Amino acid sequence: MADATALPRARRSGGRNLRLWLPLGWLGLLALAALFAPFIAPHDPLAQDLLMERLPPFFIAGSEPGYWLGTDSLGRDVLSRMIYGARVALFVALIAATITCVFGSILGLLAGYYAGWWDRVISRLIEIWMAFPPVLFAVLLVAVMGTGLFSVIAAIALIDWTRFARVIRAETMVQSRMDYVDSARIGGANRLTTLIGEILPNVLPSIIALLMLEMGIAVIVEAILSFVNLSISTDDPTWGSMIAEGRGAIHFAWWVLLFPLIALFLTVLSFSTLGEGLKQRFDPVLQ
């Protein structure tokens, strides 16, 4: 007789695979487009041609061959600017999220495992840091440090490390009470070896999920800062600056706003979904 639970298990497995492959597909496509932007982009993203201003995308009457997603008010190709904007978004997401992850996770591991004064100092620091509104704090930091890509990365890293520290601290506290930790200590492992060799692998799925989530948040923060002209130069294409420009022309050139907005939404959603999928796939507790 066939196993009655085989079909539900297969469906759950298929759903988990879908949560991995769909976001991976979009992010992989985006990464390839960003990496090979000079060869893929049909036009120079900075080239202006007022004779080509506000051309509609290819599926609307009046479009021009070669301008697949239309042009903006200065005649710049929307698709080319989106491709080059993906470079900025992914670069900020990768660098800022990695720095944030490493710094916050180390503090969370130390606070959750060593407890005592480690926990008291780090917990108070987290509480103080979280008292500042994150978006306003980011705008203030960039305004003080000056505009530029590395100022944006520094602002994100300085703001969002608390998310990692809080979650990883709680996870580490739970893991440190498990029997396998006591077994490692009885076996002669010192505290640092136990933390790195025993607890860290079990906390790692949560770190990966948070890292993916942070990449999505970094993309949003960069878009917000470029929306208010606090990211890179206003001449360089970013999704946030394209959205800001398209907002003023939404009634007669809606595609300038819509397409970068869709790309931003899909990218953030993909990072979030991928994080959850990876956690479900590799978390030993869920397995």
Sequence ranges of the domains in the chain:
18-37+69-282
pLDDT greater than 90 at residue 179: no
| pLDDT tens by residue, 155-171 | 888 888 998 999 999 99
pLDDT greater than 60 at residue 237: yes
Closest CA to 150 of 91, 100, 209: 91
pLDDT greater than 90 at residue 243: yes
Q: For 113-117, 133-137, 267-271, which range has the lowest pLDDT when averaged over its residues? A: 133-137
Give the pLDDT score at 1: 45
Higher pLDDT, 149 or 96: 96
Give the pLDDT score at 194: 87
Confidence of residue 284 (pLDDT cuts 50, 70, 90): low
Q: 3-state DSSP call for residue 279?
A: helix
What is the pLDDT averaged over residues 91-103? 94
Q: Residues near 212 by Cβ (< 8 Å), separated by ≥ 6? A: 271, 272, 274, 275, 278
- Name the range with the highest mean pLDDT among 1-5, 72-76, 275-279: 72-76
Degrees to nearest 5, angle at CA 203 with 197 and 205: 120
Distance CA 49, CA 179 (A): 69
Q: Which residue in this structure is represented by tokens 């991995």?
A: 20
Distance CA 207, CA 100 (A): 11
What is the pLDDT averaged over residues 212-228? 90
Q: Domain 18-37+69-282 classified CATH 3.20.20.80?
A: no
Q: Which residue in this structure is represented by tokens 């539900």?
A: 8
pLDDT greater than 60 at residue 210: yes
pLDDT greater than 90 at residue 95: yes
pLDDT greater than 90 at residue 83: yes
pLDDT greater than 60 at residue 138: yes
What is the pLDDT averaged over residues 60-78? 90
Give the pLDDT score at 142: 82
Contact present, 30 and 86 (Cβ < 8 Å): yes
| 151 residue type, one letter | S
Give the pLDDT score at 192: 85
Confidence of residue 135 (pLDDT cuts 50, 70, 90): confident
